[in-house]
Amino acid sequence: MLAPPKVPSPPNVPALPNVPALPNVPALLDVKGLRAGYGETQVLHGIDFAVAHGGVSALLGANGAGKTTTLRAICGMLRRSGDIRLDGARIDASATEDIVRRGVAHVPDGRGTFLELTVEENLRLGAYTRPADEARADIMRMFGYFPRLEQRLRQQAGTLSGGEQQMLAIARALVLRPRLLLLDEPSFGLAPLIIAEIFVILRRIRAEEGVGMLLVEQNASIALDFADQAYLLETGRIVVAGPAEDIRRDEAVRRSYLGY
């Protein structure tokens, strides 16, 4: 009997146009088949996405879609399975502290500010894993982005306004000198003017620090303006993926998923 003619398997086309396609240059963050949940409840049902070196990927979706869970799963803050690689090295079995020490800074849901401590102590904590002299220089550098923090240095962080706390949270994450910055809804609860100010600063940071970002947002229009790659999450699955530019222009997607 003749063997059936061999059909050449399709070449491994990279699914994500903005992620470097060179086989030997892994993405900054490469996630495949990520599943995670709380206790018995599974929230993420196997999602794939990536962040390029120095690039910005946005995770969009409604409340409860699993955006925050995705960030927590990357940081090892909850039970997860799947393949998570930072610069090619697997981090899906590592503890939170170790993932942080490998250069992943997380500005969590609720900002994670140490409310009882001063602004300065919060910043020193951000640089906890770094040598003291470098930490000091980096904290000074943050005042270039966030001059208001310098004025509030000795103030208890709990007394800052929402916008100032968000700035403190971003500065605290940056003094870690991360390769990857995870941002969980930086616009949450802030006035439109403050949101705009924060995104102006994030653009500067992106240009000057060369840090890759994974941005979780409910405010899709802001996120799509800022990101170069976007993923739409719906109940724990990615339903649309592609360049942010394309998604922004796709009226059907915008209407049915993003509601604007």
Partner 1 sequence: MMQGVLHQVISGIATGGIYASVALALVMIYQATHHVNFAQGEMATFSTYIALTLINIGLPYWIAFIGAVAISFAIGVAIERILMRPMENAPVLASVGVFVGLLLIINSLSGWLFDYTIKQFPSPFGSGTPLFGGYVSSHELGSTAVTLIVLIAVYMFFRHTRLGLGMRAAAFNPVSARLVGIQVGWMLALGWGLAAAIGAIAGMMVAPIVFLDPNMMAGILLYAFAGALLGGIDSPLGAVLGGFAVGIIENLMGAYVVGTELKLSVALIIIVCVLVVKPSGLLGRKVTSRV
Q: Which is nearer to partner 1, 159 or 256 (CB)?
A: 159
Task: Return the number of the residue (188 or 243) whose C-beta is nearest partner 1.
Answer: 188
Describe the crossing of helices 192-209 and 132-145 by its angle, rounded to 10 degrees. Answer: 130
Q: Shortest approach of partner 1 to residue 12 CB, angstroms?
A: 35
Q: Which residues between 48 and 77 bind partner 1 (CB under 8 A)?
A: 75, 77
Footprint of partner 1 on residues 181-200 (CB under 8 A)?
A: 189
* Options 16, 142, 176, 241; binder of partner 1; rule CB under 8 A: 176
Q: Counting contacts by CB under 8 A, is residue 248 touching partner 1?
A: no
C-alpha dist (Å) from residue 143 to 10, 96, 216: 51, 28, 25
Query: Do the Cβ atoms of 241 and 231 come closer than 8 Å?
Result: yes
Token pair in block for residue 140: 């000074």
- Residue 80 or 106: which CB sits closer to partner 1? 106
Contact status: 108 vs partner 1 (CB under 8 A): yes
**Cβ-based nearer residue to partner 1, 121 or 197:** 121
Q: Which stretch binds partner 1 (CB under 8 A): 2-10, 50-58, 95-103, 196-204?
A: 95-103
Query: How far apart are CB 105 and partner 1 at their closest, in Å?
Result: 8
Residue 126 CB, shortest distance to partner 1, in Å, is 6
* Residue in 17, 21, 38, 128 binding partner 1, rule: CB under 8 A: 128
Nearer to partner 1, 195 or 253 (CB): 195
Q: Please, what is the minimum distance in Å from the beta carbon of residue 119 to partner 1?
A: 13
Q: How far apart are CA 75 and CA 39, in angstroms?
A: 17
Q: Which amino acid is at 104?
A: V
**What is the distance between the alpha carbons of residues 2 and 190, in angstroms, rounded to a whole number?**
69
Cβ distance to partner 1 smaller for residue 43 or 52: 43
Under the binding rule (CB under 8 A), the answer on residue 81 touching partner 1 is: no
Residue 46 interacting with partner 1 (CB under 8 A): no
Between 78 and 239, CB nearer to partner 1: 78
- Identified binder of partner 1 from the candidate list 144, 158, 192, 210, rule CB under 8 A: 158
Binding site for partner 1 (CB under 8 A): 75, 77, 96-97, 100-101, 105-106, 108, 112-117, 121, 124-126, 128-129, 132, 156, 158-162, 172, 176, 189
